[in-house]
């Protein structure tokens, strides 16, 4: 016989009880008070007291919202409401550390206003907030979530359904967002629901609702945080004597709390961690769910993560042309996102899971189970939603497990939480009961002897226990259907006995040993009836339907692609390594005294040029027959904006010397690989040209597949971008931009004089030994004055070129490089005398007024006057053809071919102070070389192989192989998505990601708006 | 027979320039017959003639010979070019050249009108023969240009202009050669996330286009109209086949839809841009639709595509038998048009085919092949000489150019400023 699961329906009356019975309260009470003890005993349950501790047939006793006892065979105190949970499972309820539950509604910005809108609005240089607050509106560090928290019943209901009992809530607005409050998801006043007022302090790289212009870029946001850390230190030390700043006060107040930083992707995670390291702060990273793409780097950070379960829907790829819009990276992420939690666990990275980002909280459980199917152990899964979150916000004394004295936050399920069939019945929060789904009625299935009046029938109850079917079995083949209704232990049966007109109607109660009650026969006479279960025979089969479904689902891990580095079509599965190469019989353009050497061998070993000559042999080398081919030094692009994330300009102020492009390198930009295919091996990533004093540059080698730090050229000098002319005076920005100083070339000079005057004074203060506020902007300018940082200045007109040289001379330094410098040919003599180099376009002109006198002979004329001249790209497309750009110096100005090639190799190396390492083919220098199919200055030349540090990062034949591999991978994923769609998976319309191709003049706001 | 050495000719050009302004004086009509001998002739139809002879008189080509037949050159001024390369004038397509002088200075920008359906708007009216830009483009061998308006759904009509002339009336080679149509994009660009998503307005936009064409077509068929509609008047030659319809479309699905759309009105369109032409090459060939291909100096549209796809697309189209010609983005950038073709040669397009797609094929696509585009008897003597291979930056050195037989100046603002500042440094060195 089927076990009757007894559930003693001890009526609690209300669904919830006041959690703290004899607590004194400040609020008046209307009517007669109704204190409740809240004493409940949950018996015969499987109880996970912690993610790693399971008790069978155990009892949980709670009182006044707390766990009073838990264990096997423990006494049940008298007066407890008993819940028999035979066959049910109790888990600690989940904790979500990333929520804005109960926070005030955010002001929605006009969407367009925050996007292209920079041109539609007047700039806002300073905060509009009233009071003695921080200068920047995105610093909302004084926000205290607990002073705003208001429970939201409808939201809490949906969170209950997902299994949550407590959340850490904060206002998701701003770069510094202030503190989060840990709350229970119960009913009642905020007063009673707050577990911890200041539980955390929050950050992001998004300025949110701030309408202030600064920062408009990711590097600006990083700089703002960096400066604020310094400001806060200064304020604590001496600054308070100089100004009252409520924001800095608030900042210092929350430094010891758990610091949580929201990022958009794996690279931002690394950026946040590094920022924290500068100031001894260990952030908990709220990740984006793509951590599996860079596990190694993230593990090294030692950071803990809060990761979402946002698994993208399959793309609808029925139409092959539509499918072309979807990138392989998107497809791979669709496949691999559910693996993320498992991979984090395997890597030993501590993490909590959050429902943040899911369309509805109930997707949480669905995706959690998916993550388990994808290899996350159940124990790790449970840990990530209970124990780890409690640990991360230092509340394991109250939450995260069901130990004595902790909050009575738990859920009751029908079984194993991670089984897709399992139901969540109840969610208890601090002793309050929330019914999600009625516990199943008593399972009636089985065989009974039904005695009615004098007759006895064989009553069969079969089928789904929640919707059983009943009939009377007269003999082997004859049945009489019995209709029934069963509610709250009361049962009604009706049937028409054979050979009878009219129905027999029975009503009664279901008890453990029998059903019984009164009934009326067809003739209207009242009788007593009973149904007694027969001694159990075979269990009816019930699982047949579910096993079938399971057969359909293959092991999801059976067919999963690999992570590629970078995570796109041309990524590696294994990092390419240094090898020994012997390039035989090439025409070698040395850029050294020996010039162009025909039929020459070059040996590359340990990342360096080991030998240049004829008849070289090396037993260990991979030989490359370069007969008919040309070998040149790798191309160096003095001016690029590729591989930069979220904004190339911090254009909102006349000076942004504090921002660093090196903070925002994007090593996965496909243009890095594309440019390797054009022979580019090194580039200077410049800040844009929107302000007279721009940001600090970064010099990278094109080490495709490395992380951002790994791409930086080690030990390179610091550079900074300056700019002159139309961009900095906002000539072409529209009528809203007429207020920022400077608006003329006259003003530009004054900006420089003023900043360098202040930087000099700053330096004096610094040297004096007195306490001072670290000013990152002036630090950068001071470095220039001290000859430790070098200027690359965007420039066009001769007047301003001359001006900057004069300013520099006044302050005792030299302008290192003028970039663009399209009128350099007019003042080449002065540049040579000053010692400035030039990095120019070969032939660009006429795109704005200040380039109307630009000529393609510019480079040649400057070269003739003794200026070190380079040709640069400033353009992701043209950068692949810089060798052709160099050839334009032959066409326009008749430079020798050797000198022409130097324009894109040795000369930019000189301008970047890296000519001791790269720029020529010389023994001992870095093996950054390109093998060309043809004369390297010809339009017909193709880079066949490109080496950086002796590593072959590009090989044209291999590129074709990679492409074929990517096509195969795409096709595999497309077929998989089609299958998923067929099996009913949700789909989304195809959409594609476009890389942002930056130019100098890009000044869009990339970090504003509420998401 | 008179022999004039090249150096004298060059000297003549320089003397001819007014120092006060950079735009050289337009050339007078051809005054005497000229014969170029000993040239490497790129005919522009795929053919190469080495050591050949080309002669022209009154602006028209009179003799094209490989020299073996020893044509009678009496009366011709003979120039021995000693193996230099002779090409038909390259034709720049789909460019605002002449309609804009300085990109960022609004007062000089004349390529975009207000409104979305402007087939009647005529580019040649704004073609500025005094532009400083045009002579720099001409100096690299680009002698003809399809000056084209842009913006909106139907930006207007292009015209084929010569790169030398006193005003638009005498500079025009073919007025109003075609109406341009920007096919709606089925994808819109989500600015914030840099995401390409389905354009929700797409159906609406296509329907609006169809409604316009339906009306225009009905107007065209009407024997008499009560009230003239300039827009529909401009469309009439499109329907009767005397004016081209250039449809700008990039994506495979779009290209197909645009072609079928045009065919509904009996039009064989030219597809402009056609980034995805390689995907639907068979379709284009089957429908005999030619393509003005987006510049090869372009990044692959999608990150997963072969890194060199834009370089290879011309070769793919050639192999598939799709008729195409080159284009280059922008206006001042047209002086690099020859190298757009050179790039395609590096990636598999046969050299003479690349020349053809700058000249003969271009003329066919633009509907001017009866007059120009190849070095053949009877056609305009619009051609130029280069010291070396004109498609390679290293060797492109144009020494002579003729437009309809007129010997046009190769001087320009760039060269003038070069001389000016050369002079500055000479002065300094003498001090």
Summarize pLDDT for A252-272 with one digit per residue, the tens. 999 999 999 999 999 999 999
pLDDT band, residue A841 (cuts 50/70/90): very high
Q: Are residues B358 and B317 in the same domain?
A: yes
Q: How many domains are there within chain B?
A: 2
Whether residue A122 contacts residue A193, with contact meaning beta carbons closer than 8 Å, is answered with no
List the CATH number of the domain containing A646.
Answer: 3.20.20.140
Query: Is the confidence at residue A683, as pLDDT, over 50?
Result: yes
In which residue are the tokens 């006009």 written? A110
- Per-residue pLDDT averaged across B249-274, rounded? 96
Residue A838's H or E segment, with its range, is: strand A837-840
Least confident window among A102-106, A339-343, A398-402, B98-102: A102-106
Shortest distance, CA A833 to any CA of chain B (angstroms): 13
- Mutation for B interface: A672, A939, A961, most B CBs within 10 A: A939
Classify A370 in phi/psi space as left (phi over 0), alpha (psi -120 to 50) or beta.
alpha
Q: What is the pLDDT of residues A617-631, one digit of tens each?
A: 999 999 999 999 999
CB contact under 8 A, B425 and A677: no
Residue A983 lies in a domain: no
Q: Are residues B9 and B77 in the same domain?
A: yes
Q: What is the pLDDT of residues B195-217, one digit of tens each?
A: 778 889 999 999 999 999 999 99
Task: Look at residue A813 in the predicted model and tell me its pLDDT.
Answer: 98
Task: Look at residue A652 in the predicted model and tell me its pLDDT.
Answer: 85
C-alpha distances out from residue B237 to A245, A588, B244, B272, Å: 73, 59, 8, 19
pLDDT band, residue A361 (cuts 50/70/90): confident
Chain A window 636-665: which residues touch B at a Cβ cutoff of 8 Å?
A: none
Q: Are residues B281 and B324 in the same domain?
A: yes
Shortest distance, CA B118 to any CA of chain A (angstroms): 26
What integer best gives the mean pLDDT of chain A?
Answer: 92
Give chain A's end-to-end CA distance (angstroms, integer): 57
Q: Are residues A771 and A793 in the same domain?
A: yes
Q: What is the pLDDT of residues A950-982, one digit of tens each?
A: 999 999 999 999 999 999 999 999 999 999 999
CB contact under 8 A, B304 and A970: yes
Q: How many domains are there within chain A?
A: 3
Please tell me the distance from the alpha carbon of residue A595 to that of residue A927, in angstroms, as a whole number. 18
Least confident window among A437-446, A492-501, B324-333: A437-446
Among candidates A321, A673, A826 on the partner chain, residue whose Cβ is nearest the Cβ of B307: A673
Contacts of B303 in chain A (CB under 8 A): 327-329, 568-569, 670, 993, 995
Task: Look at residue B22 in the predicted model and tell me its pLDDT.
Answer: 84
Please tell me the distance from the alpha carbon of residue A692 to that of residue A730, in angstroms, as a whole number. 11
CB contact under 8 A, B302 and A324: yes
CA-nearest residue to B253 within chain A is A321
Other C-beta atoms lying within 10 Å of the C-beta of residue A256: 9
Residue A761 lies in a domain: yes
**Residue scoring higher pLDDT (A745 or A996):** A745
Query: Is the confidence at residue A526, as pLDDT, over 60?
Result: yes
- Per-residue pLDDT averaged across A133-140, rounded? 96
Among candidates B195, B347, B397 on the partner chain, residue whose Cβ is nearest the Cβ of A993: B195
pLDDT band, residue A18 (cuts 50/70/90): very low
CB contact under 8 A, A935 and B299: no
- Per-residue pLDDT averaged across B77-94, rounded? 97
Query: Is the confidence at residue A551, as pLDDT, over 50?
Result: no
3-state secondary structure of B19: coil
Whether residue B403 contacts residue B162, with contact meaning beta carbons closer than 8 Å, is answered with yes
Contacts of A934 in chain B (CB under 8 A): 346
Q: Which domain holds residue B96?
A: 90-372
Q: Is A68 on the interface with B (CB under 8 A)?
A: no
Task: Look at residue A109 in the predicted model and tell me its pLDDT.
Answer: 53
Query: Is the confidence at residue A876, as pLDDT, over 90?
Result: yes
Task: Look at residue A440 in the predicted model and tell me its pLDDT.
Answer: 74
Task: Look at residue A463 in the predicted model and tell me its pLDDT.
Answer: 83
pLDDT band, residue B120 (cuts 50/70/90): very high
CB contact under 8 A, B302 and A327: yes
Q: Are residues B339 and B226 in the same domain?
A: yes
User: Does residue A742 have a cis peptide bond before it, meaning omega lies within 30 degrees of 0?
Assistant: yes
Q: Is A730 on the interface with B (CB under 8 A)?
A: no
The alpha helices in A167-262, defined as continuous H runs, are 190-193, 218-237, 246-253
Task: Look at residue A651 in the predicted model and tell me its pLDDT.
Answer: 85
CB contact under 8 A, A991 and B196: yes
- Per-residue pLDDT averaged across A113-138, rounded? 78
Residue A148 lies in a domain: no
Q: Are residues A466 and A503 in the same domain?
A: yes
Q: Are residues B166 and B219 in the same domain?
A: yes
Q: Are residues B15 and B147 in the same domain?
A: no
Among candidates B332, B342, B391 on the partner chain, residue whose Cβ is nearest the Cβ of A845: B332
What count of Cα atoms within 13 Å lies in the side-chain half-sphere of residue A296? 6
Q: What is the pLDDT of residues A212-249, one digit of tens each?
A: 999 999 999 999 999 999 999 999 999 899 999 999 99
Least confident window among A121-125, B253-257, B288-292: A121-125
CB contact under 8 A, B414 and A855: yes
**Residue scoring higher pLDDT (A719 or A438):** A719
Residue B395 lies in a domain: no
Please tell me the distance from the alpha carbon of residue B42 to that of residue B53, in angstroms, as a whole number. 12
Among candidates B198, B304, B394 on the partner chain, residue whose Cβ is nearest the Cβ of A328: B304
What integer best gives the mean pLDDT of chain B?
Answer: 94
The alpha helices in B222-325, defined as continuous H runs, are 230-239, 252-264, 281-286, 309-320
CB contact under 8 A, B346 and A939: yes
**Residue scoring higher pLDDT (A115 or A735):** A735
Contacts of residue A169, defined as CB under 8 A and 6 or more positions apart, other chains included, come to A99, A100, A101, A102, A103, A145, A149, A180, A181, A182, A183
Q: Are residues B303 and B351 in the same domain?
A: yes
Q: Which domain holds residue A762?
A: 633-811+825-882+910-914
CB contact under 8 A, B417 and A853: yes
List the CATH number of the domain containing B25.
Answer: 2.30.40
Q: Are residues B168 and B39 in the same domain?
A: no
Among candidates B251, B252, B304 on the partner chain, residue whose Cβ is nearest the Cβ of A569: B304
Task: Look at residue A498 in the predicted model and tell me its pLDDT.
Answer: 84
In which residue are the tokens 């049910």 written? A88
Cα-Cα-Cα-Cα torsion A491, A496, A498, A502, nearest 10 degrees, comes to 140
Q: Are residues A620 and A666 in the same domain?
A: no
Q: Are residues B138 and B267 in the same domain?
A: yes
Contacts of A960 in chain B (CB under 8 A): 306
DSSP, res A614:
S
Shortest distance, CA A618 to any CA of chain B (angstroms): 33
Residue B218 lies in a domain: yes
Contacts of B393 in chain A (CB under 8 A): 884, 887-888, 890-891, 937-939
Q: Are residues B418 and B329 in the same domain?
A: no
Among candidates A846, A881, A959 on the partner chain, residue whose Cβ is nearest the Cβ of B103: A846
CB contact under 8 A, B196 and A865: no
In which residue are the tokens 């009767």 written? B240
Least confident window among A272-286, A728-742, B148-162, B347-361: A728-742
Please tell me the distance from the alpha carbon of residue B192 to that of residue B355, in angstroms, as a whole number. 42
Q: Is A710 on the interface with B (CB under 8 A)?
A: no
Q: Are residues B215 and B276 in the same domain?
A: yes
3-state secondary structure of A408: coil
Contacts of B343 in chain A (CB under 8 A): 881, 939
List the CATH number of the domain containing B94.
Answer: 3.20.20.140
CB contact under 8 A, B192 and A115: yes
Query: Is the confidence at residue A441, as pLDDT, over 60?
Result: yes
Whether residue B413 contacts residue A907, with contact meaning beta carbons closer than 8 Å, is answered with no
Q: What is the pLDDT of residues A297-336, one digit of tens each?
A: 999 999 999 999 999 999 999 999 989 989 999 999 999 9
Contacts of A888 in chain B (CB under 8 A): 393
Residue A735 lies in a domain: yes
- Per-residue pLDDT averaged across A905-921, rounded? 98
Q: Are residues A582 and A490 in the same domain?
A: no
- Mutation for B interface: A992, A1010, A1011, most B CBs within 10 A: A992
Residue A833 lies in a domain: yes
> Interface pTM (ipTM) of the complex?
0.95
Angle at A697 between CA A695 and CA A698, to 5 degrees: 145
Residue B381 lies in a domain: no
pLDDT band, residue A536 (cuts 50/70/90): low
Please tell me the distance from the alpha carbon of residue B328 to that of residue B341, in angstroms, as a whole number. 9
pLDDT band, residue A701 (cuts 50/70/90): very high
Query: Is the confidence at residue B3, as pLDDT, over 70?
Result: no
- Per-residue pLDDT averaged across A779-799, rounded? 98
Please tell me the distance from the alpha carbon of residue A806 to that of residue A909, in angstroms, as a whole number. 25
Residue A760 lies in a domain: yes
Other C-beta atoms lying within 10 Å of the C-beta of residue A75: 10
- Mutation for A interface: B21, B97, B304, most A CBs within 10 A: B304
Query: Is the confidence at residue A6, as pLDDT, over 80?
Result: no
Query: Is the confidence at residue A934, as pLDDT, over 60?
Result: yes
CB contact under 8 A, B428 and A935: no
CB contact under 8 A, A992 and B196: yes
Contacts of B300 in chain A (CB under 8 A): 674
CB contact under 8 A, A994 and B393: no
The alpha helices in A715-834, defined as continuous H runs, are 745-768, 776-785, 798-810, 828-834
Least confident window among A27-31, A114-118, A211-215, A722-726: A114-118
Q: Are residues A864 and A942 in the same domain?
A: no
CB contact under 8 A, B302 and A325: yes
Residue A467 lies in a domain: yes
Q: Are residues A723 and A753 in the same domain?
A: yes
Q: Are residues A747 and A613 in the same domain?
A: no
Residue B402 lies in a domain: no
- Per-residue pLDDT averaged across A545-574, rounded? 78
Q: Is A827 on the interface with B (CB under 8 A)?
A: no
Percent with pLDDT over 90 in chain A:
79
CB contact under 8 A, A939 and B391: yes
Q: Are residues A846 and A806 in the same domain?
A: yes
Task: Look at residue B427 in the predicted model and tell me its pLDDT.
Answer: 96
CB contact under 8 A, B304 and A849: no
List the CATH number of the domain containing A922.
Answer: 2.30.40.10
CB contact under 8 A, A887 and B393: yes
Residue B119 lies in a domain: yes
CB contact under 8 A, A846 and B417: no
Residue A610 lies in a domain: yes
List the CATH number of the domain containing A504.
Answer: 2.40.128.120
DSSP symbols for A905-962 = THHHHHHTT-TTTSSS--TTSB--EEEESS-TTSTT--EEEEEETTEEEEEHHHHHHH
Q: Which of B372, B387, B418 is the last residue before a domain boundary?
A: B372
SS3 of A551-594: the string is HHCCCCCCCCCCCCECCCCCCECCCCCECCEEEEEEEEECCCCC
Q: Are residues A740 and A842 in the same domain?
A: yes
Query: Is the confidence at residue A468, as pLDDT, over 60?
Result: yes
Task: Look at residue A992 in the predicted model and tell me its pLDDT.
Answer: 77
Whether residue A994 contacts residue A106, with contact meaning beta carbons closer than 8 Å, is answered with no
Q: Are residues A680 and A741 in the same domain?
A: yes
Q: Are residues B183 and B62 in the same domain?
A: no
SS3 of B256-276: the string is HHHHHHHHHCCCCCEEEECHH
Across the beta sheet with B244-249, the strand order is B90-95, B142-147, B156-162, B172-182, B244-249, B270-273, B291-293, B324-325
Other C-beta atoms lying within 10 Å of the C-beta of residue B133: 25
Shortest distance, CA A424 to any CA of chain B (angstroms): 37
Joined together, the tokens standing for residue A934 give 């043809």
In which residue are the tokens 């340990």 written? A606
CA-nearest residue to B414 within chain A is A855
Residue B36 lies in a domain: yes
CB contact under 8 A, B194 and A329: no
Q: Which residues pair with residue B53 across a beta bridge?
A: B65
Contacts of residue A705, defined as CB under 8 A and 6 or more positions apart, other chains included, come to A565, A566, A571, A572, A575, A576, A667, A953
Q: Which of B372, B394, B421 is the last residue before a domain boundary?
A: B372
pTM of structure: 0.91
C-alpha distances out from residue A381 to A92, A166, A385, A813, Å: 13, 17, 7, 60
Among candidates A848, A989, A995 on the partner chain, residue whose Cβ is nearest the Cβ of B198: A989
CB contact under 8 A, B197 and A989: yes
Q: Are residues A637 and A623 in the same domain?
A: no
Backbone angles phi, psi at A947, to 5 degrees: -110, 140
Q: Are residues A762 and A792 in the same domain?
A: yes
Contacts of B105 in chain A (CB under 8 A): 848-849
CB contact under 8 A, A994 and B189: yes
Among candidates B194, B308, B335 on the partner chain, residue whose Cβ is nearest the Cβ of A677: B308
CB contact under 8 A, B394 and A938: yes
């Amino acid at each position: 016989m089927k076990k009757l699961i007894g559930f003693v329906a001890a009526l609690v009356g209300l669904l919830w009880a006041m959690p703290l019975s004899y607590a004194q309260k400040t609020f008046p009470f209307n009517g007669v008070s109704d204190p409740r003890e809240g004493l409940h005993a949950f018996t015969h349950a499987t109880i996970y007291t912690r993610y790693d501790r399971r008790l069978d047939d155990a009892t949980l006793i709670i009182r006044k919202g707390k766990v009073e006892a838990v264990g096997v065979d423990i006494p049940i105190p008298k007066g407890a409401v008993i819940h028999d949970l035979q066959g049910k499972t109790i888990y600690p309820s989940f904790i979500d550390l990333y929520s804005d539950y109960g926070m005030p509604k955010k002001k929605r910005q006009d969407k367009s206003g925050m996007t292209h809108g920079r041109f539609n609005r007047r700039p806002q240089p300073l905060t509009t907030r009233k009071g003695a607050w921080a200068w920047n509106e995105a610093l909302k560090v004084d926000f205290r979530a607990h002073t705003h928290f208001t429970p939201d019943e409808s939201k809490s209901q949906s969170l209950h359904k997902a299994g949550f009992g407590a959340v850490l809530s904060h206002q998701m607005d701003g770069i510094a967002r202030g503190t989060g409050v840990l709350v229970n998801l119960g009913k009642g006043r905020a007063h009673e629901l707050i577990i911890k007022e200041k539980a955390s302090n929050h950050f992001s790289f998004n300025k949110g609702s701030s309408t202030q212009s600064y920062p408009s870029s990711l590097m600006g946001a990083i700089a703002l945080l960096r400066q604020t850390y310094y400001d806060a230190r200064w304020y604590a030390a001496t600054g308070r004597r100089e100004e009252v700043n409520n924001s800095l006060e608030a900042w210092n107040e929350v430094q010891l709390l758990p610091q949580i930083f929201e990022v958009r992707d794996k690279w931002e995670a690394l950026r946040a961690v590094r920022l924290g390291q500068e100031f001894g702060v260990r952030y908990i990273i709220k990740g984006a769910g793509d951590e599996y793409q860079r596990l190694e780097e993230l593990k090294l950070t030692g950071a803990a993560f809060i990761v979402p379960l946002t698994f993208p829907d399959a793309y609808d790829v029925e139409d092959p042309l539509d499918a072309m819009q979807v990138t392989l990276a998107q497809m791979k992420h669709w496949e691999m996102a559910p693996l993320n939690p498992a991979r984090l666990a395997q890597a030993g990275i501590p993490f909590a899971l959050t429902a943040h980002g899911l369309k509805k909280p109930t997707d949480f459980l669905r995706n959690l189970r998916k993550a388990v199917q994808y290899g996350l152990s159940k124990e790790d899964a449970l840990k990530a939603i209970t124990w780890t979150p409690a640990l991360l916000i230092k509340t394991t004394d109250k939450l995260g497990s069901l130990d004595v004295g902790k909050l009575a936050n738990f859920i009751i399920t029908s079984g194993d939480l991670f089984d897709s069939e399992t139901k969540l019945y109840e969610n208890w929060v601090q002793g309050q009961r929330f019914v999600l789904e009625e516990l199943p009625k008593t399972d009636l299935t089985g065989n009974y002897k039904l005695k009615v009046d004098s007759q006895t029938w064989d009553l069969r109850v079969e089928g789904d226990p929640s919707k059983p079917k009943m009939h009377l079995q007269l003999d082997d083949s004859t049945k009489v259907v019995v209709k029934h209704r069963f509610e709250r232990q009361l049962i009604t049966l009706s049937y028409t006995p054979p050979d009878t007109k009219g129905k027999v109607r029975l009503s009664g109660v279901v008890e453990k040993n029998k059903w019984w009650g009164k009934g009326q026969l067809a003739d209207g006479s009242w009788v007593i009836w009973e149904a007694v279960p027969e001694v159990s025979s075979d269990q009816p089969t019930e699982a047949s339907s579910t096993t079938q479904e399971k057969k359909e689902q293959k092991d999801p891990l059976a067919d999963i692609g690999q992570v590629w580095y970078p995570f796109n079509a041309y990524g590696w599965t294994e990092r390419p390594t240094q090898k020994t190469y012997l390039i035989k019989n090439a025409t070698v353009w040395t850029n050294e005294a020996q010039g162009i050497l025909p039929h020459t061998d070059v040996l590359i070993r340990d990342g360096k040029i080991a030998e240049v000559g004829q008849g070289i042999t090396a037993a260990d080398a991979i030989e490359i027959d370069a007969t008919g081919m040309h070998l040149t030094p790798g191309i160096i692009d003095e001016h690029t904006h590729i591989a930069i994330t979220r904004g190339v300009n911090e254009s909102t102020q006349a000076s942004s010397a504090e921002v660093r492009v090196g903070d925002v390198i994007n090593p996965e930009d496909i243009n890095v690989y594309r440019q390797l295919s054009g022979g580019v091996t090194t580039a200077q990533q410049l800040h844009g040209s929107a302000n007279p004093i721009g940001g600090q540059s970064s010099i990278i080698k094109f080490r495709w597949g490395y992380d951002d730090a790994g791409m930086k050229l080690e030990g390179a000098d610091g550079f900074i971008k300056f700019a002159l002319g139309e961009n900095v005076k906002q000539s072409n920005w529209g009528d809203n931009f007429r207020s920022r100083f400077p608006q003329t070339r006259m003003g530009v000079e004054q900006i420089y004089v003023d900043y360098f005057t202040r930087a000099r004074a700053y330096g004096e203060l610094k040297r004096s030994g007195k306490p001072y506020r670290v000013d990152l902007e002036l630090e950068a300018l001071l470095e220039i004055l001290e000859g430790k940082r070098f200027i690359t200045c965007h420039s066009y007109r001769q007047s301003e070129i001359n001006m900057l040289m004069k300013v520099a001379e006044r302050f005792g330094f030299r302008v290192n490089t003028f970039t663009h410098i399209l009128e350099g040919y007019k003042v080449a003599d002065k540049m040579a005398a000053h010692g400035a180099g030039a990095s120019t376009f070969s032939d660009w002109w006429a795109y704005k007024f200040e380039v109307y006198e630009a000529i393609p002979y510019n480079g040649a004329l400057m070269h003739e006057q003794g200026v070190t001249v380079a040709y640069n790209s400033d353009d992701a497309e043209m950068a692949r053809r810089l060798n052709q750009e160099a050839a334009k110096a032959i066409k326009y100005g008749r430079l020798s071919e050797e000198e022409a090639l130097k324009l894109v190799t040795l000369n930019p190396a000189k301008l970047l102070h890296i000519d001791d390492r790269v720029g020529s083919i010389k023994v001992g220098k870095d093996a950054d070389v390109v093998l060309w199919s043809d004369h390297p200055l010809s339009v017909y030349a193709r880079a066949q192989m490109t080496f950086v540090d002796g590593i072959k990062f590009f090989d044209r034949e291999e590129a074709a192989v990679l492409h074929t591999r990517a096509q195969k991978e795409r096709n595999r994923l497309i077929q998989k998505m089609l299958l998923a769609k067929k099996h009913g998976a949700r789909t989304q319309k195809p959409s594609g990601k476009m890389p942002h191709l930056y130019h100098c003049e890009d000044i869009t706001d990339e970090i504003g708006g509420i998401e | 027979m008179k022999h004039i050495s090249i150096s004298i000719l060059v000297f003549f050009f320089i003397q001819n320039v007014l120092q006060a302004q950079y735009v050289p004086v337009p050339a007078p009509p051809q005054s005497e017959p000229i014969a170029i001998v000993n040239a490497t002739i790129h005919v522009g139809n795929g053919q190469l003639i080495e050591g050949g002879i080309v002669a022209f008189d009154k602006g028209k080509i009179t003799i094209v010979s490989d020299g073996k037949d020893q044509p009678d050159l009496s009366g011709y001024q003979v120039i021995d070019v000693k193996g230099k390369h002779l090409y038909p004038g390259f034709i720049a397509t789909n460019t605002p050249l002449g309609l804009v002088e300085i990109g960022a200075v609004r007062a000089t920008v004349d390529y975009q009108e207000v409104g979305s359906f402007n087939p009647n708007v005529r580019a040649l009216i704004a073609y500025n023969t005094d532009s400083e830009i045009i002579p720099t483009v001409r100096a690299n061998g680009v002698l003809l240009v399809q000056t084209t308006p842009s913006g909106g759904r139907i930006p207007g009509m292009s015209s084929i202009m010569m790169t030398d002339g006193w005003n638009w009336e005498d500079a025009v080679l073919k007025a109003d050669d075609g109406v341009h149509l920007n096919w709606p994009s089925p994808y819109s660009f989500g600015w914030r996330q840099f995401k390409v998503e389905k354009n929700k307005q797409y159906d609406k936009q296509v329907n609006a286009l169809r409604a316009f064409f339906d009306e225009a077509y009905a107007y065209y068929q009407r024997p008499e109209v009560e009230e003239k509609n300039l827009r529909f008047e401009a469309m009439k030659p499109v329907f009767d086949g005397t004016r081209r319809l250039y449809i700008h479309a990039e994506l495979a699905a779009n290209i197909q839809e645009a072609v079928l759309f045009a065919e509904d009105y009996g039009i064989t369109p030219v597809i402009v841009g056609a980034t995805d032409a390689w995907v639907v090459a068979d379709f284009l060939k089957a429908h005999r639709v030619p393509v003005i291909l987006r510049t090869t100096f372009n990044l692959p549209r999608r990150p997963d595509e072969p890194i060199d796809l834009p370089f290879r697309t011309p070769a793919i189209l050639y192999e598939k038998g799709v008729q195409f010609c080159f284009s280059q983005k922008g206006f001042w950038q047209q002086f690099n048009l020859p190298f757009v073709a050179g790039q395609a040669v590096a990636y598999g397009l046969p050299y003479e085919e690349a020349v053809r797609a700058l000249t003969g094929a271009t003329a066919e696509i633009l509907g001017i092949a009866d007059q120009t585009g190849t070095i053949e008897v009877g056609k305009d003597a619009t051609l130029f000489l280069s010291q070396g291979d004109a498609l390679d930056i290293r060797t492109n050195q144009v020494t002579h150019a003729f437009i309809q037989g007129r010997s046009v100046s190769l001087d320009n603002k760039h060269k003038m400023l070069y001389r000016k500042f050369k002079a500055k440094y000479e002065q300094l060195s003498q001090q």
